[in-house]
Structure 1
């Protein structure tokens, strides 16, 4: 008599019926997930990106005006227009030179800025370009603005090359504002801060 060594008949697995409490839990989780999705959709308008473009009026080294929209360039901080720095043993108007640097970068071309956050003065925190050039990044690379949440590597290169304000000594723009105008310390507004703000805005009820 020959023995068969092949696999025997497979047994069909039948899942045990779910208990009433398990079904209620599943239904509850479904309702919660649907509620979160509805909330998310309702809050997305809070983080809608705004784009504005046109001829720029340069206010200082990190802020411009496009039409009726005031723009604070995101992720950087330039010397205030009236701020002075020190180089070769003498004071000089680094705030004026920072503004002139931004004027040169724009070179009369139309400027386009995008963003969704606003600072405490109601200005749009924008990433700005002119002629395809990233103005935020270029100001830091030229040494006429410091990293303020972004562009750390560009700042390191400018510092090593003693570009712009790095050729001498200076007060950080935020410290200068605090000592001369007593302004509230401004929170840095780089990429990580933007992500955190977006999450808070989406899930903020009021």
Structure 2
């Protein structure tokens, strides 16, 4: 067990003692040591989060994968969430506006799971 700013000392009798720092300079040196490790901690945590998400956290997959060609459109009049697949009548005219919450999907199953329905035409 390690307590911050305390020195761990073995007393020779099979036990560890946590000793308070003696003066301000000792505390300062320990704080500096801890802060010098901070960038390494941040970089390690960021890399772990990036890899845990499959490496797709910086840019959403639908923005760079050409297979993600299903357009998720929100109706201005009803607010209904509708997706359009290539070949449908309004596919070419549909524009994705991210500021309105519209998005791209990589599969119809993904769109349905997110609560969108297929366009009728």
Q: Which has the higher helix share?
A: 1
**TM-score when scaled to structure 2?**
0.35
Which structure carries more relative contact order (alpha carbon 8 Å, separation 6+)?
1
